[in-house]
Every structure is written in C-alpha cells, then in structure tokens.
Amino acid sequence: MSAFISSSWIVERWFESFLHVSLDSSLFLSPSLHPSLPPSSSSPSPHTSSCCSCSLAQFCSVRSGFRILLRPLPLLDLMQSSPCAGTPKQAEINDNITIFTRILDGLLDGYDNRLRPGLGGESVTEIKTNIFVTSFGPVSDTEMEYTIDVFFRQSWKDERLCFKGPMEMLALNNLLASNIWTPDTFFLNGKKSIAHNMTTPNKLLRLKDDGTLLYTMRLTISAECPMQLEDFPMDAHACPLKFGSYAYPVSEVIYKWTEDAAKSVVVAEEGSRLNQYHLIGQTAGTEEIYTSRGTYTVMMAHFYLKRKIGYFVIQTYMPCFMTVILSQVSFWLNRESVPARTVFGVTTVLTMTTLSISARNSLPKVAYATAMDWFIAVCYAFVFSALIEFATVNYFTKRSWAWDGKKAMEAQQPKVFLLEPQLVSFSIDKMSRIVFPVLFGTFNLVYWATYLNREPVIKGAE
C-alpha cells in the first residue's frame, strides 16, 4: 500500500509539471486540443487574458480530477479508519497518559530527594506502618533467631508531590522510589534482611493527589529472638521485631501504626512454617530509646511462640523412662546372677549418659538447667541407684557364702541371734522392687502436673 501511495504521488508531480510546461507553450490553449475554446488569432486580443483565466481554471480542474483519479481506493480509507488510527476512547487514553507524564515531570522538577517532607518548618514527618506476614519460620534455638517473610508498608505525606489530574491516585513504577524521599527505616534486631528482586524489585509506590504516598516492599528478615529456656521443652517465647529511623530523631520523624495493635500486624492463615512451635498470637507496640544523639521512636511487634512437646517426648522422655524401668528389672533377677545384673546396671548408666548428651545438642550452651535437664538428672539418679543397689546385694551375697563356711565351727558355741547376710541381701531386693517404682512414679506425677497444668510463662513480652 505504501508503494502504491508513493507511485501515485510521483505520477501526480510529473503531471503537474507537464501541465505547467504545456501552459507556458500555449499548447494547452490550442483549439485542436481543446475544441471547447474559441479560435484565436496569432495576434493578441482582448480575449487572451480571459482565455488564460479559463485555461488556469481548466488546469486546476484537470489537476483536481487527476488527484481524484490517483486517490487510493477504499482499502486505504479502511486502513485510515481502523482502530489503530485512533478512536475517541483511544484518544482520551492518550490524552490521560500525556497529562500524567506532564504531572510527573512537573512534580520532580526542582524536587530534592535529600530533604525530608516538612523540613524548614515546624512539622514533623509522620510515618504510618503496618506488617503483613506471609511466612513465619523457621526458628533456630541454637542461634536464638527466627526468619520471617513480610510485606512491609509505610505511608507518609509529602506536600511537594501534590497534583491535580483526572485521577485521585497514581500507581507508579518502583523506579520512581529512587527519585523521591523515602524513610531510612532499619531493623534494630535484624541479623540479615533481603529485599526480593525477582523478576523485578518487589516494591509498590502509590501517590495520592494530596501528596500522600504508600510504599510497600517484600522483605525476608532474620531477627534475634532472646529465649529463656528454664522451662524447656514446655517453654514459650515472645520474639520481637523492632524497627525505626536510623538517622532522624523524634523531633523530625515519628513512626505510628496505621491501625490499632490488633490490625497493624497480621499473619496469614497458612503463613506458619514451624515444626516445633505453635504461633499463638502477636501484638504491636511503640517505645522510645534515648541516646546521646537524641530520642528515637522504635516500633515493636511481638510474635508469641509455644513449643510443641511431641518431638521431645518421643526422642528423650520415653527413652529415659524406658531406661529407668529396664534398670529396675535387675531387682527381679537372682542375686547370684552377677553377669546379668552387671550388664543391666552398666548398660543403663551408659544409655542415660548418651541421652543426656544428645538432648543438649539441640540447645544453646546455657549456664542453667532446663526442665528436661532435671528430668534426665533424676532418671540418671534412679539408674545409678539401681547399680549401687546391685553392688550392695552382691556384697552381702558374698558374705553369705563365707557365713556358710563358718557354720560348722560355730555350731558348738552358744547361739546368738544375728541376721544372716543372705537374708539382708534378699530384703534389699524385695524392698527395692517396691520403693523404686513408687518413687519414680511419684516423681513423674509431680513433674508433669507442675509443667503441663500451668500457663506458659512468656518471657520477654511487655
């Protein structure tokens, strides 16, 4: 089509040149060529000017007719009337784009992103924040830290960015965030933070016509979680997330939660990624810290965790319980079965030692004893006591053998009623069969009633 239009234009230009040449040579005025014109003489006449005017009129007529002849056929008209050429709706959209482009260019014209909003006046920049947790966990007991994936939202007002246009809010590209002032928020107890950049930086920026901005970004944060493990594994913790301005004191920038504490920190229903904990709730609050450089606002969100005990019951408590029961089986063996009772005693002691070491591997090296440590220590005491009981019984058993050898020599002496060693060893075994299970059962009753029937003490929460 473009080739046809170009060819038509060339032919039209050539024909115009031809007509001009013909007019200059009076060829176009010849009666033989134009019978409609009256005959003329070789000498000028008064009709010459009128004939020239007529010739010019006919020239224009021929030129116009030729243009009509060379005009592209309806295919070109269809192409020009297609939606790509522009419809009223498309034209309106193009006009809006032009308006918004001019608005953005005008907003950034002379804008200094190094200066916070309201600088130079008495106003303090107010940053409203809220957090939506998409994924919580895992939690590391040995490192005392947790990982959280959040949508972190900040909102503030910058009157330098006020505008008037057909829309009340502009959804802007994240590239504009580098051209305007944004809060210097940092996480006080954060060990590592990652801003997601796939496939593009996960940031959202919206601007209202009154200059209010909403700035949202997706972050993965590893933060400290101080733990008090005295009640481990029936313990509970409050893991904090603290953030605020790095450079601006409260006299310049203050932080507030967007809504009340219950709605400012929200965890997705399927957001928990915890194997050893239950996420039982979260709260939000504010505090101020005082430094030599001034007073700073610190926003705090606490996530409350309660440990699941099932894993430790299977891995530690049940093996310890069974080991103690196994050590008491030796009370029912013949007191003269020294090898068998020795194997029971030594094996159970070594087993308890191994369980004690493995239970500590999943915990940080704290200087105090945990609830599990106390349970293991008592179980260890029962097992070791069973071994001591066997040694005592074995001692009196050997004495009973020596006693039998002396009976003949003592037969003629006056009888003195003394308790024979074999009776002593038998009495020790018989008493141990009752005392040991009763004491161990009583200990378990008190231990589990103490820790399971009370509310978890959440330390670190305000």
pLDDT at position 89: 64
Torsion of CA 53, 54, 56, 60, to 10 degrees: 140
Place 398 in a pLDDT band, splitting at 50, 70 and 90. Answer: low
Q: Which residues contact 203 (CB under 8 A, 6 or more apart)?
A: 174, 177, 195, 215, 216, 217, 218
Tens-place pLDDT, residues 219-263: 999 999 999 999 999 999 999 999 999 999 999 999 999 988 778
pLDDT band at 103 (very low <50, low <70, confident <90, very high): confident
DSSP code at position 313: I
Q: Indicate the SS3 state at residue 134.
A: strand
Q: How far from 14 is each of 3, 55, 56, 121, CA to CA, in Å?
A: 17, 19, 18, 73
The better pLDDT of the pair 370, 397 is held by 370
Do the first three CATH levels of 125-308 and 311-459 match, i.e. the same topology? no
Q: Considering the entire predicted model, what is its pTM? A: 0.72
pLDDT of residue 26: 42
What are the backbone dihedrals phi and psi of residue 257, each rounded to the nearest 5 degrees, phi first?
A: -75, 145
User: Exposed, middle or buried, 145 (CB in 10 Å: 0-12/13-18/19+)?
Assistant: buried
pLDDT of residue 378: 97
What are the tens digits of pLDDT across the range 161-174? 998 877 888 888 88
Q: Is the dihedral of CA 184, 189, 191, 192 positive or negative?
A: negative
Instruction: Please state, rounded to an integer, the average pLDDT across all residues of the chain.
Output: 79
Burial class (CB in 10 A: 0-12, 13-18, 19+), 402: exposed
CB 162 within 8 A of CB 211: yes
3-state helix, strand, coil in the chain (%, to 5): 45, 25, 30
**Angstrom distance (rounded) from CA 70 to CA 52:** 26
Q: What is the mean pLDDT of residues 14-41?
A: 44
Q: 3-class DSSP state for residue 451?
A: helix
Give the position of tokens 């996960």. Answer: 202
Confidence band for 77, pLDDT divided at 50, 70 and 90: very low
Other CB atoms within a 10 A radius of the CB of residue 4 amount to 13
Q: Which CATH superfamily is domain 125-308 in?
A: Neurotransmitter-gated ion-channel ligand-binding domain (2.70.170.10)
Q: Please, what's the b/e burial string for 208-228 (b: 16 or more CB within 10 A of its CB; e: otherwise)?
A: beebbbbbbbbbebbbbbebb
273 or 350: which leads in pLDDT = 350
Fold classified for 311-459: Methane Monooxygenase Hydroxylase; Chain G, domain 1 (1.20.58)
Percent of the chain with pLDDT over 90: 48
DSSP characters over 113-133: TTS-TTTTSS--EEEEEEEEE
What's the whole-number mean pLDDT along residues 114-140? 90
Q: pLDDT higher for 157 or 32?
A: 157
Give me the residue spans of the domains in the chain. Answer: 2-38+46-80, 125-308, 311-459
Q: What confidence score (pLDDT) does residue 99 get?
A: 77
Which percentage of the chain shows pLDDT scores above 70? 71
Of 462 and 378, the one with more pLDDT: 378
Residues 313-345: pLDDT tens digits? 999 999 999 999 999 998 888 877 888 888 888
Rg (CA), the chain: 49
pLDDT at 38 > cutoff 70: no
The answer for 211, left when phi > 0, alpha when psi is -120 to 50, beta otherwise, is: left
